[in-house]
């Protein structure tokens, strides 16, 4: 058996999703004539209480479009030091938008209004104007922890009072939503935009929706997407997978969260982990127990068919998702036991 915990991007479309894709009505979306893309966009916008949305090829592109949308060259974007936009988007903010990033140190990737307020630059030619705040919810590198709604509300109020825009990298926003129990509409009410990955826990092959509060910005966002090479043609086949995922794969994310907790308990019980805070959602990051060298542990697990990835200097990451069921979890626990 192979229990693949390397990433929730590895999920493959289910039979039901493939059927939905096969039956999609499509057109040319650059010509604005693909009804299925339009349906996905309006459905996602409505979920977040917003009025505009744009289907993008990837989460990276959606974040990069948002940054370009709300900034000008020489501006500064405030974000957590563990952010995806900083670590994993190939200096996109610098090359696509000409902006600087101001990094805030945090526990678990969650920052607050006080920290943000302190990092807003004064009006002075030496400093880039602070223009945009990006929050990552849940934060991947932080270990999959999510924001409290009150924290987001305070940050949103600060942004409004200081004329900053607020974008959320919501690649795993639905993991946060089912974990914390707030609604997508409540979350959206505090944001200017949010990117929602369909190709992670929601199980689609491709795609992210960028949801935008101000419908007047949609044309500009579309133009940026075009310039980035992200205008797609019969993308309704992919959008159909997205619609299917929004209808079928959200509530079940709680199973992934339970599975991650079960793995966490097993690692602890069998002495494979040293430091590992309890996971909240579907990401489990841990330091190997004292008898293990990290690379050896990853290799031993791989030999048994339990796949993980290294993260940072000394951590290992396991991610639960749609394509790992209880049989995989039981098998992983057996393997952990055999290594104890």
Ligand X SMILES: *Cc1c(COP(=O)(O)O)cnc(C)c1O
* Residue ranges in contact with ligand X by CB under 6 A: 58-60, 63, 84, 136, 140, 169, 171, 197, 199, 208
Q: Which of 84, 69, 78 is nearest to 104 (CA)?
A: 78
- Provide, rounded to whole angstroms, the least separation between the CB of residue 128 and ligand X: 23
CB of 70 to ligand X, least distance (A): 17
Triad 112, 116, 117: Cα angle to 5°: 115
Q: How many helices (H) and strands (E) does the chain have?
A: 14, 13
Supply the minimum distance, in Å, between the C-beta of residue 66 and ligand X: 11
The residue among 188 and 230 lying less far from ligand X, judged by its C-beta, is 230
Kindly state the tokens that stand for 336: 């952990």
Nearest CB to ligand X, comparing residues 131 and 167 = 167
Tokens of 133: 């705040």
Pick between residue 102 and residue 317 the one whose CB is nearest to ligand X: 317
Of residues 272 and 322, the one with the C-beta less far from ligand X: 322
Minimum Å gap between C-beta 169 and ligand X is 5
Among 77, 310, 84, smallest CA distance to 195 is for 84
Sign of CA dihedral 36, 37, 40, 46: negative
Min dist. Cβ of residue 150 to ligand X (A): 22
Which CA distances in Å does 36 have to 1, 24, 126, 236, 326?
38, 7, 48, 5, 34
Q: Give the nearer residue to ligand X in terms of CB position, either 58 or 287.
A: 58
Q: Compare residues 120 and 308 and give the one whose CB is closer to ligand X.
A: 308
Position of minimal CB gap to ligand X: 59
CA distances from 178 to 37, 42, 248, 257 (A): 25, 21, 14, 9
Q: Which is nearer to ligand X, 199 or 272 (CB)?
A: 199
Q: CB of 257: closest distance to ligand X in angstroms? A: 16
Alpha helical stretches, state H, the chain: 15-22, 35-47, 59-70, 84-87, 92-97, 113-118, 149-161, 173-180, 184-188, 218-227, 236-248, 253-269, 294-304, 326-338
Nearest distance from C-beta of residue 232 to ligand X, angstroms: 14
CB nearer to ligand X: give 316 or 335.
Answer: 316
As a whole number of angstroms, the distance between CA 57 and CA 146 comes to 25
**Strand pairing class (165-170; 130-136):** parallel
**Minimum distance from CB of 335 to ligand X (Å)?**
26
What's the rounded Cα separation, in Å, for the pair 200 and 79? 22
Token pair for residue 243? 């619609």
């Amino acid at each position: 058996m192979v229990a693949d915990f390397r990433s929730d991007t590895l999920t493959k479309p289910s039979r039901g999703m493939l059927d939905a894709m096969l039956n999609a009505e499509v057109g040319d979306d650059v010509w604005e004539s693909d009804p299925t893309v339009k349906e996905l966009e309006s459905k996602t916008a409505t979920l977040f209480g917003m009025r505009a949305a744009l289907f993008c090829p990837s989460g990276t592109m959606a974040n990069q479009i948002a940054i370009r949308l709300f900034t000008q060259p020489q501006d500064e974007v405030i974000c957590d030091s563990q952010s995806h936009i900083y670590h994993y988007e190939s200096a996109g903010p610098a090359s696509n938008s000409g902006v600087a990033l101001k990094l805030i140190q945090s526990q678990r990737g969650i920052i607050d209004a006080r920290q943000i307020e302190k990092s807003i630059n004064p009006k002075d030619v030496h400093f880039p104007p602070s223009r945009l705040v990006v929050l990552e919810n849940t934060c991947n590198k932080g270990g999959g922890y999510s924001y409290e709604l009150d924290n987001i509300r305070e940050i949103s109020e600060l942004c409004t009072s200081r004329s900053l825009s607020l974008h959320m990298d919501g690649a795993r926003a639905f993991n946060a939503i089912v974990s914390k129990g707030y609604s997508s509409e409540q979350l959206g009410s505090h944001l200017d935009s949010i990117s929602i990955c369909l190709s992670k826990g929601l199980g689609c092959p491709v795609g992210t929706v960028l949801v935008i509060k101000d419908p007047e910005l949609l044309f500009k966002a579309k133009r940026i997407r075009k310039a980035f090479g992200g205008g797609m043609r019969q993308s309704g086949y992919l959008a159909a997978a997205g619609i299917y995922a929004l209808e079928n794969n959200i509530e079940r994310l709680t199973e992934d969260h339970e599975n991650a907790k079960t793995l966490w308990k097993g690692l602890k019980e069998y002495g494979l982990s040293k430091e590992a805070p309890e996971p909240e959602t579907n990401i489990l990051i841990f330091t190997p127990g004292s008898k293990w060298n990290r690379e050896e542990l990853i290799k031993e697990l791989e030999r048994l068919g339990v796949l993980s990835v290294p993260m940072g200097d000394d951590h290992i990451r396991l991610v639960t998702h749609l394509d790992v069921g209880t049989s995989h979890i039981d098998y992983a626990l057996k393997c952990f036991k055999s290594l104890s």
